[in-house]
Structure 1
């Protein structure tokens, strides 16, 4: 079985009697001790993403992964929020590797990525057990086909709201629980239906790279993330797109489609998009 090593992600182990309660109060999704891997975000007070990844319970602890570029800031903020809580926060950058596998391996801490079918499994294992892990694009291909954006490859930190990347549709935001950091802004977007930037799948890319504009009728309607095999996840203004026809990236035509999990749609001709 092949496991891809994700050198761009850093794992955290958070445990202790107050860990679940504090994480539930700070992060965006429901944080439970049920073994389910959920998409989570740590937000700035203004509602934009500072970090994102999967959080899952195993062996008496919560196991998280975040982009390596924001791991230090994530650690500092979690220590700040901890205050006097009985909770241990372990940064595993020097001791553990984060990996991905299409099938469940018999190694380390394994959680199925439940955001969409076909996203495989996240693996966190000691470095000594990851020597035979390989470089690969399987995880990137799977999430691009599913239309799921990731911090780093597709958008920078403090650039997107949870709605912009579909976290509200994929279990990454709990709209029923009490206040968490950035909750007021995210809740307002939800209840007012003001989300207009949304993930789209951009295919047939023959030119262009991460950050390039998606153009329709001479207007910039969004940007693309990292390109793999001619596809990318774009974050686009769906209220500026009707049928996805006539789109281009770097001067070359591309195709636009909505993820199959999306409950939003392109704009009706002469009107706004629908977003349930």
Structure 2
């Protein structure tokens, strides 16, 4: 196909409306929501007050509506968290699962309600919110999307991030345009800023090539001395993401993981301070 279109059936969409929709989000998430333009998109996260990961998701602006695209499996948890923070804000959060769905594709789709270049990396192509699946759409398309994503070394969602444990910067969210450091306060901002300015991130979600059977999630990764240096998180065939101690690994070197061998590699977009390697 010249422009393969994948239906991401594992994603869910909410709409946020009302006069306080932007201010409500601005005080919660890691990106500056006031910078989103009409027809644009942001990649961002909601953290705990201690700066630990809870959810990562995308925000799209279309007129007076903000669409929030998130993991389908954890959408109810995210909805409850947003409602907890809503308090007296004039914002309505609506489940759009029966009306809207998400596509991943290589080029813009004119018929989409909203279609934007993925804000993380150009190589990820476009994300489109649609009311109907277009002709020729591959459904389900999650595996093909994950194959592309893992091939670029990108962690995404709770399949790789560790809820209430990992930090946004450990998930490379700075390099992938998921964090702003010049916006006002948001939940978890103090720890995120402190991690940035100390320039020491001891663990990272790192892409690995897998030689042998793909290990189960959270299988320990061991060095040549049998010491645990991290865990595997999620993968597909011979590609995966592992949560590793940077000071304990060498990119391009083999490590044991279950009945397989993994080899960490460094994507061109990943920035590492000398203290981290």
Provide TM-score, normalisation by structure 2: 0.87
Instruction: Pick the aligned partner of 2:60 from 52, 56, 76.
Output: 56
Match of 2:122 in 1: 117
Which of residues 223, 227, 232 in structure 1 aligns to 2:231?
Answer: 223
Note the alpha carbon deviations across 1:53-81, whole angstroms, 9 max, x for none.
Answer: 22121233222211122211211222232
Tell whether the 8 Å contact from 2:210 to 2:240 is kept in structure 1 after alignment.
no
Task: Give the match for residue 152 of structure 1.
Answer: 158
List alignment gaps of at least 5 residues for structure 1.
Answer: none
Q: CA deviation at 1:262?
A: 1.1
Q: Number of matched residues?
A: 268
- Please say if 1:5 is aligned against 2:7: yes
Q: Deviations over 1:177-221 (max 9, x none)?
A: 121111122122112223211122101432223322222222222
1:178 to 154, 179, 184: 184
TM-score by length of 1: 0.87
Q: Is the contact between residue 41 and residue 50 of structure 1 (CA under 8 Å) also seen in structure 2?
A: yes
Q: Is the 8 A contact 1:43 1:50 kept in 2?
A: yes
Deviation at 1:111, TM superposition (A): 1.9
Work out whether 1:14 is the aligned partner of 2:12.
no
Equivalent residue number for residue 83 of structure 1: 87
Q: Distance in 1 between matches of 2:240 and 2:107?
A: 23
Instruction: For 1:87-166, list aligned pairs within 5 A.
Output: 87-106=91-110, 107-126=112-131, 128-129=132-133, 133-136=138-141, 137-166=143-172
Find the aligned partners of 1:63 and 1:197 in 2 and give their Cα distance: 32
2:56 is paired with a residue of what secondary structure? strand
Partner residue, 2:216: 209
Per-residue displacement from partner, 1:127-185 (whole Å, max 9, x unpaired)?
x4468551232211221122111113323432321011111222211111121111122
Alpha carbons 1:146, 1:260 under 8 Å: kept: no
Distance in structure 2 (CA, Å) of the matches to 1:161 and 1:167:
9
Q: Is the 8 A contact 1:197 1:236 kept in 2?
A: yes
Do the aligned partners of 2:41 and 2:59 also contact (CA within 8 Å) in 1? yes
